[in-house]
A and B are shown apart, each in its own frame.
Chain A
Amino acid sequence: MATFELYRRSTIGMCLTETLDEMVSSSTLSPELAIQVLVQFDKSMTEALESQVKSKVSIKGHLHTYRFCDNVWTFILQDALFKNEDTQENVGRVKIVACDSKLLSQ
């Protein structure tokens, strides 16, 4: 199963990465095993988002920068408004990083 390493940049991914870093640094864990854990995280996170999350969000804002490189879209929005079912958030500046969903199905 193909996975993205994209989600490693999320909070949960960063927490895992830091944990693994610490454990590898203290020789508690081998680097190889740490990488295996990260790969498993890529899979588990992707599956969880597909199967356990149903919410929809709409995003509006001023597109400050757009970039498409290596099949990854990057948008930097200014004064963005995020809406979902029960809340909305205003953000002065937000970065959106999106991988091509078609790459996962291949």
Chain B
Amino acid sequence: MASTTTSSVYINVIEDVINKVREEFINNGGPGEAVLNELQGIWEAKMMQAGVILGPIERSSQKQPTPGSAITPVHDLNVPYEGTEEYETPTADMLFPPTPLQTPVPTPLPGSADGSMYNIPTGGSDYPTPVNDNGSNADIKGGRPSPYMQSPSPWSNQRTPLSVDVNVAYVEGREEVDRGTSNQPLTQDFFMMSSGKRKREDFAQYQNGGYIPQQDGAGDATSEVAKAEGSRGGNFLDRRHSTTTAKSKFLAELARSSSKIPQLDGPIPDSYEDMLSTPNIYNYQGVVNEDYNVVNTPAPNDLQASTPAPAPQNDIVDDDDDEPLNEDDDDEDDLDDVDQGEELNTQHLVLAQFDKVTRTKSRWKCTLKDGIMHINNKDILFNKATGEFDF
């Protein structure tokens, strides 16, 4: 220990606190100086009982406390009650410090730290897939707002169209070619980037024939088609539209120079079959979207069917889980308490500020400052401390 001992520092702190709150006690209708003196008296008495302040504190209002010289020789720290015995008969209280003083009350730790701790990053990072889809679609569609990305639009909610990929697109194309339902070889069209004008003609032509023409490269025509489909064909057509949209993503590189990609999709039943044959893709994507949004949002039927059932079980399980968990938590704290109870007054505690905490493999190093240690029933203060721990 250095020049000032724990006891003298404590006495100085008591003095400082009392002096600085005196105004509050006297003014503003405070309880008055008598109460302040009572406070100081009880506080000091408790400190002496705890053995961290030595001897009666000589204090007169004029005399500034000179505890270092008058009260506490350094070696007294190791024998806390020696000083008191010189002045008065030791009481049981003084010889056996009451245990409650050693029990730390769980006070909130640093108030200033609380504010900064709850800056939990929030934002769109939870929804990476939709964002990406939006971005890529916007590129391809030349800025056309992609309605199916927005949940409010009713028809798009039926299925979230996704990045169903290239494989689906090709299958459809091949099917159409195989069945001879289209006049043009679609796959070739994709890569040859034929102009959009012919596509419009196709559109007019097919509208009467029940085929669904579709253009992926350009926004305007596609959305028009989508509306027409929506009014005529219902959800299945919309899904088809979304499917082709996905196709267009694959073709983005190829179609970069051409604003429109001619595309002929199969008749309605074909698309429906596609949907049925690959249900997992659609459902799965839908699930993903729902999961990342709000848990309780209405989900596709299959999902809703699954979630309510486990819910009651979860409640029960939660109850069961909570207690063991809490018990475990308590156990750890209880261990401290048990140790404390068994060893009487030996809750060893170090309160400090840390400058740096580092770890190399299992070796921890930390530098602390301005600490109060309560070890082996002694209070020791330090200005700096270095810790080296192995984990």
Contact = CB atoms under 8 A, between A and B. Distances in A.
B384 interface: yes
Contacts of A99: 109-110, 113, 352-354
B184 interface: no
A7 B373 CA distance: 10
A53 to B, nearest CB: 5
A53 B107 CA distance: 24
Contact of B113 (A41, A63, A70): A70
Given A53-B9, A57-B384, A47 B16 contact: yes
A57 B385 CA distance: 4
Nearest to B44: A15
Contacts of A89: 375-376, 378, 380
Contact of A49 (B3, B21, B103, B383): B383
Interface stretch (B45-53, B227-235, B286-294): B45-53
B192 interface: no
B86 to A, nearest CB: 22
Given A55-B381, A84-B382, A48 B9 contact: yes
Interface string B314-355: 000000000000000000100010010000000111111111
B24 interface: yes
A41 B8 CA distance: 16
Contacts of A41: 13, 17
Contact of A9 (B10, B78, B107, B111): B107
A22 B42 contact: yes
Interface residues of A, number: 78
Contacts of B349: 9-10, 94-97
B14 interface: yes
A91 B38 contact: no
A94 B348 contact: yes
A87 B111 CA distance: 34
Interface in A64-91: 65-66, 68, 70-73, 75, 77, 80, 82, 84-87, 89, 91
Contacts of B46: 15, 18-19
A14 B351 CA distance: 13
How many chain B residues sit at the interface, stated as a range, is 35 or more
A40 to B, nearest CB: 5
Interface centre among B347, B364, B387 (most CB of A within 10 A): B387
A25 interface: no
B370 A91 contact: no
Interface in A2-44: 2-12, 14-20, 22-23, 28-30, 33, 36-37, 40-41, 43-44
Interface in B356-391: 357, 364, 366, 368-376, 378-391
A74 to B, nearest CB: 9
Contacts of B43: 15-16, 19
Interface in B103-137: 103-105, 107-114, 116-117
B117 A70 contact: yes
B109 A45 contact: no
A10 B352 contact: no
Contact of A29 (B3, B4, B39, B114): B39
A9 B351 CA distance: 8
Contacts of B14: 12
Nearest to A104: B353
B19 to A, nearest CB: 9
B25 interface: yes
A21 to B, nearest CB: 9
A56 B2 CA distance: 9
A17 B35 CA distance: 15
A72 B109 contact: yes
A57 B382 contact: yes
Interface of B: 1-4, 8-10, 12-14, 16-17, 20-21, 24-25, 30-31, 35, 38-39, 42-43, 46-47, 50, 52, 74, 78, 100-105, 107-114, 116-117, 332, 336, 339, 347-355, 357, 364, 366, 368-376, 378-391
15 contacts: A9-B104, A9-B351, A33-B24, A49-B371, A54-B2, A57-B382, A63-B389, A63-B390, A75-B389, A84-B380, A84-B382, A95-B336, A96-B352, A96-B387, A100-B113
Given A6-B109, A70-B114, 7 more contacts: A4-B112, A48-B9, A58-B387, A63-B389, A75-B366, A96-B352, A98-B350
